[in-house]
Amino acid sequence: MKTTICVENLSYSPFNYEAISDVNRITEKSIEEICFASLDHTHPFMQLNTAIFSSNAIDSSRDGVIIASTINTANVILSCASSSVKLLYLYDLEWMFQPVSYDYMYNILTNKNLRLVLRSEDHIDPVFNLCKREPEAIVPEFNLEEIWNLL
Amino acid sequence: MKILCYKNSNEINFDYLLNVISKTKHKIGYASGEIDSKALTEFNPDLIIHNIPDVTEFPVKTKAVSININDTDHDKSFSFTNPLSKQYVGECVFLRDLNISDNDIQKFQSDVIYIGSPAVFKDLLCFLTDAKIKINFKFFSHEPHNINGYCGVCNSLDYGKYYKYAKASIAIDKDKNRIRDIIISDGNPVLFDGANTSECISKIQKAISEDARYTLVDFNKDHILKNHTIFDRAIQIFKNVGLTSIAEDIRKQKNIEIGNRK
């Protein structure tokens, strides 16, 4: 499936490690069209066996899925005119570590064009408390095949 | 009349005062940081209102009357915060817009709301943040809190909307200005005295499950709106320095704003 993973950058983070490892695993044995779109032009911190584009390439994504992992990248993918499914795989409750505007978060998390998947069951209550929305699924470790099965 | 508003530092009451002045028909100029004396001469203000600390006159000499929002001992200096100050004007509430569209109701709804760090609630906080109890507790703070209920930061102009659409708005019983804010926003105040946690929990539970509403003898909405708004403090300041025409303009503006809330 055509998949674009939108990240803040490609330097080390737990999410980037999981996502790059999973993409490398899939591209080794299949010809799925998977790419990364990075908001910051950083060199990947580990070997990445697929294409990397800048964020403006997200607009070219058609009939696939675009995955964001943060509130900020979710905002970027929502602002793109693309026929692909837009999905937020919320890796962390990021507002608990740095102050984020409630209006901004609420408007993104309740956007009907954004499908929501969480990483942990422990995140269900805080997200529901914030925006009264329940996730479609919990995927504890980033796994594209599990996400594709939801679509 | 030309009024120059010079902001030296962020102070919520000073910001509210400038907001009130901006609603009058007078020509207003705003400045902060380094003072450009050439620009000041060109603007040629009749009145300067500033919050530079420890000065009794605006640092650049002009013909303008200088109103100082600081704690200096001077007949044109006024303090919102220091009761020992000679010209203490007292705490006051800011009239915020409470209107929202139907689509936004869910955004402002909660079981319990608090704006600020809830550490002051001690044992009560354990109850509010207990995931098993399933209370929709929301609180906002500029400082991140890694506990249930933390929802980031919110716009200060929206405080009243959160109070209005919460089933209970908690406050410490000594926090009089916050209580006034809750009352004028048609919120449901549940006060905590710092000791009686079980009574406060019981009140919160009744507010959530039975829609119990609480009234406070010492806080009457009409009285607050009549006497304790930022408009009243601005009127008091301008009357004290002899600028009765501006005071009258502000009084008219207050009547319009109060009328819009009804």
pLDDT tens-place string over residues A63-74: 899 999 999 999
Once rounded to an integer, what is the mean pLDDT over residues A21-28? 94
ipTM score of the complex? Answer: 0.86
Q: List chain A residues with CB under 8 Å of B107.
A: 103, 106, 110
* DSSP conformation class of B255: H
- Residue B165 pLDDT: 96
Taking all residues of chain B, what is their mean pLDDT, rounded to a whole number? 92
CA-based nearest residue to A44, from A52, A32, A54, A34: A52
- Residue B19 pLDDT: 92
State pTM to two decimals.
0.88
- What is the rounded distance in angstroms from the CA atom of residue B168 to the CA atom of residue B59? 47
Residues B76 and B56: beta-carbon distance below 8 Å? yes
Domain boundaries along the sequence of chain A:
3-150
Chains A–B, number of C-beta pairs less than 8 Å apart: 51
pLDDT tops 80 at residue B261: no
Domains of chain B in start order, with CATH, are: 2-94+229-261 (3.40.50), 102-219 (3.40.50.2000)
Give the right CATH number for A3-150 from 3.40.50.10470, 3.40.50.880, 3.40.50.2000, 2.30.110.10.
3.40.50.2000
- Residue B87 pLDDT: 87
Q: pLDDT tens for residues A73-111?
A: 999 999 998 889 999 999 999 999 999 999 999 999 999
- Residue B75 pLDDT: 85
H-state helical runs in chain B: 12-22, 37-43, 105-108, 123-128, 159-164, 176-184, 197-209, 221-227, 230-240, 244-261
Report the SS3 class of residue B89: coil
- Nearest CB partner across the interface for A99, out of B107, B138, B144: B144
Residues A125 and A93: beta-carbon distance below 8 Å? no
Centre a 10 Å sphere on the Cβ of residue A136 and count the other Cβ atoms it contains.
14
Rounded to a whole number of angstroms, the distance from the CA of B55 to the nearest CA of chain A is 35
Once rounded to an integer, what is the mean pLDDT over residues B220-248? 93
- Residue A62 pLDDT: 82
pLDDT tops 80 at residue B262: no
Percent pLDDT > 90 in chain A is 82
